[in-house]
Chain A
Amino acid sequence: MTALPLPSPRKLGLVIDLDTCVGCHACAVACKEWNEQGAFGPLPDQDPYGAEPLGVWFNRVHTYEVAAGNPLPPPTPARAIAPAASAAAAAPAQGMTVHFPRSCLHCEDAACVTVCPTGASYKRASDGIVLVDEDKCIGCKLCAWACPYGAREYSEVRGVMQKCTLCVDRIYNESLDPADRQPACVLACPTRARHFGDLGDPGSEVSRLVAAREGYAPLPELGYRPVNRYLPPRPRRDGAAAADPAAERFDASRLPPLLRWADRLLSR
């Protein structure tokens, strides 16, 4: 019910490296802290010191255990990382623990926008960022139902839908040092697993990363064409394929092991 803009050549988004994400939640808390005081905040908490602390988070980290031989779980479908080089990662031989940070993917065909009855949900024409205009939001939650990625966060306290803004109030913010004009989650990430840039520019660093590492968008079959990309875990060199080395034994009957060092000429 809300129109998407014409596709813009500029598609700002995140590239998240599942190979180095250790699941530390630094991105999630940095995001909450920034947006709490930012132009799209606050991100209210309910019962913050009580029995069921709940709050609005634009970014949450999930952890999956993958049994040996099984594919990585949704929303990391094996098919999406099917390229031959990543087959090992798609179905790890030894079992894996995968951390999966989840936030808005700023889809090109964003169902959360088209479903919005008031025009509150919209996609920016200039850079593709999907935002919510809280003045127009009636809190009907249709967008949350429409989003297959669970990226929408309804604020009970404020009665509006909230979501990742790609830190639009940072990335253009002239009151910040130019080096700081990146999403808070990207700057915070301690393993530097998160990257920000223009995925519409094939020459950008993020696009080159996606190409080199076979980055994928989750659930592509749904057709919403997410801008964000995830880099699959690199194939693990876990030695599973290596032959079990036989015991390599010095023939002690011929020469006690110690003696081979007896005449070793060492220099100090």
Chain B
Amino acid sequence: MTDKPLDLHRPTGDEVKTTTCYMCACRCGIRVHLRNGRVTYIDGNPAHPVNRGVICAKGSAGIEQHGSPARLRSPLLRVGERGAGEFKEIGWDEALALAARWLGDIRARNPDELAFFTGRDQSQALTGWWAQQFGTVNYAAHGGFCSVNMAAAGMYTLGSAFWEFGEPDWEHTRYLMLWGVAEDHDSNPIKLGLGRLKGRGAKVVAINPVRTGYAAIADEWIGIRPGTDGLLAGALVHELLHADRVDLDYLVRYSNAHWLVVDDLDGADDGLFARDAEGHPLCATREGIVRADLAGIAPRVVGEVTLADGRRAAPAFQRLAERFLDAAWSPDAVADRCGVAAGTIRRLARELAAAAFDDPIRLPVAWTDVHGRRHDEMVGRAVSMHAMRGISAHSNGFQTCRLLHVLQLLLGAIETPGSFRFQPPYPKGIPPHNRPGKSRQPNGALDAAPLGFPQSPDDLLVDADGRPRRIDKAFSWEYPLAVHGMLHTVVRNAHAGDPYRIDTLLMFMANMAWNSAMATGETMRMLTDRDPATGEYRIPRIIYSDAYASEMVAYADLVLPDTTYLERHDAISLLDRPISDADAAIDGIRRPVVAPDRDVRPFQDVLLDLGARLGLPGMVHDDGRPRFPGGFPQYMVEHQRAPGIGLLAGWRGADGAASGKGDPNPRQLAAYAGNGCFFRAEVPPAGRYFKMANRDYLGWAQSMGFVGGTQPQVLALYAEPLQRFRLAARGHGNRQPPDKDRARIAQHFDPLPDWQAPFEGAALQPGAYPLAAITQRPMFMYHAWGSQNRWLRQIAARNVLYIHPATAAAHSLADGDWAELRSHAGCILVPVRLHGAVEAGTVWTWNAIGKRRGTWGLHRDAPEGRRGFLLNHLISDLLPAGHAGDYANADPITGQAAWYDLRVALRRVEPPSGGDSLPQFAPLPVPRR
């Protein structure tokens, strides 16, 4: 019997172009197949180092994102009331002239009256630079809402961080701990890694209130209570210290564990490192007190000493050990609060120690350390960890994340074979050396980019009276290390004129009128509120750029429609958020594979156009002509941040032969296009581990332009910069916090990691809100931008509240019932489902499925609008009244939005008559004409 002849050799099209995905922040390589210039198919690029050919559900659905009916089609000018969604289409000349007039007036008057906040921004190397040239301090992306605690704690401890700046050693690790919700970043590399680990028999432990996603395939699920991860990590530290299962040799080689910390409680130097006259740190040895940074010494890690000038001091390790040896950190002491049995904690500590110490990994790779000593092999600890927003989005997230890194340091499990590894170009200083820009130069530009890493109170953006200089109050005494800014405070502060009034809010893909805001309803009100005295909007102007009809569009005065990711150039730059892996520095580009079929423009092109119209430094020639008439692709190639350093590291130099540093190469983009749209520079084999103290690595990193020199980068077991803020709070130095902030700074700026109860729960009446409520994104969706996709919404077009059966029973709730969920800030009415795989004190739902009716090109009766819901309505952007002081619902160190601190009470209610979840808002009209 012969088979029926079939059409088995049909090509996918007549052309295949590589570019980079934008369906989440993973930035995988894709191949876009075209027929007659139309996209027919998208698959993963097997040659791309990020995804190695695999592609996630979002990536495959990108073709429908490109074809979405929610896409905007021309610039829009508001004609009705703000928030009503009534617009007229206008041309780009009119739109840009209008924007340039508004912004030009601001720049002439006071550049800080422009608040430029980019939500889902992958071009911060451009947008941050643009804000700097404009001269406003009021710039940030969405990191303050997302995961700045993780990024900041990593940068101030390791000079690296989870996700974008580091990764587990997927090839060698034997024990992986996943802390908290971690499914969204970084999508495909972690999935590829988990597959490898499980295939190799490594143990995977998931510490997460919910067992879905990665936790589902973990060997062990620890259903912890939200916000208590720091207690668990501290108890693990306690156990390791008690059992003497810590790697002291590692600590004195690579960290500041042996550095002497001054003990002078009332002094201006208390808690700072003891240093010699040249500023070198000191340590104690049997031979006496010597420079701590010398090689070949035998430092002590415990023992108080008297310095030559009579001050007392003790090694940083001793301070740490004293804290965590205390019974307050014992497994028995934390078990009830974590919801994890003490015996389980003890066992986990033993497993960690066994994986780290009982069978060290030895790679037969010779290397040379920064002191010039040759080592025949690389010896490592096969324990690694990963964490993301589950740890980050709490008011104790900075210290918790620091504690996770300290736990790894004690195990000697940072940047060794088998452990967490750094991704070039990091580390670039611990923390990186760039401070936030503060003052304007004669040409109106800021002296540095608006975001940076404060190292002392001198770096804060406060006025002479200590008041915030930024509209979001980042880098103020209220949130001193808000290194990603605070997107979540902008609207409230701009509305209140606190600390001052702004003129224009310029936003890119930041859905503040919906799921990117805390207290969504209140935010919508503030966006539309008028000053009764003048009749004008309290936030006078809002310019918004988005490719889609998101909820925020209706709240703009002027809408600048972006293209899709298949229609524009982007730089995935090492100056920004790199896609490197631990073995290579990697950057890449997006490039247009199709031309826009409507009157939309890439936002980056629009920014450069506006910059030229405004005459911003760097964007015009001396005679005023535009410097980049070719738009962003020209900028990507020609702009130099420092001599020889541009957005792209590959194929530099006139002949394209240089990597990292070199003159601009006019054929650079073609070279990228010819290489799958990425560039990969391998770290030399001898430089692949111990990068913070590896001469082979640091020499290579210097040649690439990543670091200024080859001096070692000392891992911060003890974070001295925090102590400088604490000393100011105690009354030392000429920059001190206002009295209202003193106690808060003194308490939280602890140079040793610590744990505090999340603010919201601690401020509420005990028992009034007995449950924690959290959200996570499904792996097949990302933010709101992907969840209107016609294929993805067939997987989930509505969300429900998941409740543990025992908790449901206690509330007389059955599967399919409806419940009222109430927080101190609000109330929602939602459908419930029973779910056994959640910690009983926690309820949860999928994030950002619920939509406002009439948005995203969806029918008004779409379940996303009628049935789906957001927890955002329950999450206040301010702390409850029971909390002392007037502060955002945020981490006191970084300002990270603490949306995982949410506490709720649950009550069964009768199903609503129409079957709609509550609250509901008036459906928005489709923004066409």
**Which A positions have Cβ atoms within 8 angstroms of B?**
5-6, 19-26, 28-30, 32-34, 37-39, 45, 47-55, 57, 63, 65, 67, 94-99, 122, 124-126, 131, 133, 168-169, 172-176, 179-180, 184, 187-193, 233-234, 236-239, 242, 244-250, 257-262, 264-268
Contact = CB atoms under 8 A, between A and B. Distances in A.
B347 A245 contact: yes
B195 A192 contact: yes
Given A175-B10, A245-B350, A262 B300 contact: yes
Interface string B494-521: 0000000000000000000000000000
A194 B382 CA distance: 27
A191 B6 contact: no
B313 interface: no
Looking at chain B, what size class is its interface with the partner chain?
35 or more
B6 to A, nearest CB: 7
B57 A25 contact: yes
Given A32-B791, A126-B3, A260-B244, 15 more contacts: A23-B213, A26-B59, A29-B791, A33-B61, A57-B794, A97-B215, A126-B2, A168-B6, A175-B9, A187-B54, A190-B55, A237-B219, A248-B239, A250-B244, A258-B321
10 contacts: A26-B55, A124-B3, A179-B46, A190-B54, A248-B242, A257-B241, A261-B301, A266-B298, A266-B301, A268-B295
B790 interface: yes
A175 B330 CA distance: 63
Given A20-B198, A268-B298, A175 B11 contact: yes
Contacts of B230: none
Contacts of A237: 203, 219-220
Given A57-B794, A189-B54, A262 B303 contact: yes
B861 interface: yes
B191 interface: yes
B221 A20 contact: no
Given A20-B198, A245-B350, A187 B212 contact: no
Contacts of B203: 237
B60 interface: yes
A105 B347 CA distance: 42
Interface in B1-29: 1-4, 6-12
B199 interface: yes
A191 to B, nearest CB: 4
B195 A258 contact: no
A97 B837 contact: yes
B296 interface: yes
Nearest to A136: B4
B211 A168 contact: no
Contacts of B215: 97
Nearest to B212: A97
B793 A53 contact: yes
A117 B332 CA distance: 69
B252 interface: yes
B779 A54 contact: no
Contacts of A49: 69, 788, 790, 857-859, 862
Most chain B CB neighbours (cut-off 10 Å) among A50, A184, A234: A50
A238 B216 CA distance: 12
Contact of B242 (A48, A175, A257): A257
B43 to A, nearest CB: 7
Contacts of A189: 54
A184 B59 CA distance: 13
Contacts of B792: 29
Contact of A22 (B51, B217, B298): B217
Nearest to B297: A268
B63 interface: yes
Nearest to A172: B8
B299 interface: yes
B840 interface: no
Contact of A266 (B53, B60, B299, B794): B299
Contacts of B194: 20, 22, 191
B670 to A, nearest CB: 23
Contacts of B252: 266-268
Nearest to A122: B4
B795 A247 contact: no
A163 to B, nearest CB: 14
B41 interface: yes
A37 B325 contact: no
A59 B6 CA distance: 22
Interface in B848-879: 857-859, 861-863
Interface string B777-818: 001100000001011111101000000000000000000000
Given A33-B60, A190-B54, A190-B187, A245 B343 contact: yes
Contacts of B317: 261
Contacts of A63: 212, 216
A39 B6 contact: yes
A172 B9 contact: yes
Contacts of A258: 302, 318, 321-322, 325
Contacts of A47: 859
B537 interface: no
B216 A53 contact: no
B98 interface: no
B195 A95 contact: no
A193 B791 contact: no
A190 B192 contact: yes
Nearest to B332: A247
Nearest to B251: A266
B352 interface: no
A42 B322 CA distance: 67
Contacts of B378: none
Interface in B198-228: 198-199, 203, 211-221
A172 B188 CA distance: 27
A37 B40 contact: yes
B8 A97 contact: no
A34 B41 CA distance: 7
B645 interface: no
B344 interface: yes
B779 A24 contact: yes
B44 interface: yes
Contacts of B858: 49-50
A175 B9 CA distance: 6
B351 interface: yes
B80 interface: no
Contacts of B213: 22-24
Interface string B267-307: 00000000000000000000000000011111111110000
Contact of B302 (A95, A187, A245, A259): A259
Most chain A CB neighbours (cut-off 10 Å) among B248, B296, B302: B302
For the complex of A and B, the 8 pairs showing the least CB-CB separation, nearest first, are A244-B343, A190-B191, A97-B216, A191-B195, A48-B790, A175-B11, A24-B779, A238-B220
Nearest to A187: B53
Nearest to A67: B836
Contact of A188 (B60, B296, B836): B60
Contacts of A265: 298
B780 A25 contact: yes
A262 to B, nearest CB: 5
A65 B221 CA distance: 13
B199 A20 contact: yes
B195 A23 contact: no
Contact of B249 (A125, A173, A244, A266): A266
B8 to A, nearest CB: 5
Given A20-B195, A22-B779, A23-B212, A239 B347 contact: yes
A29 B61 contact: yes
A239 to B, nearest CB: 5
B242 A249 contact: yes
Contact of B795 (A28, A95, A239): A28
B394 interface: no
Most chain B CB neighbours (cut-off 10 Å) among A131, A190, A262, A268: A190
B242 A268 contact: no
Contacts of A238: 219-221
A98 B216 CA distance: 7
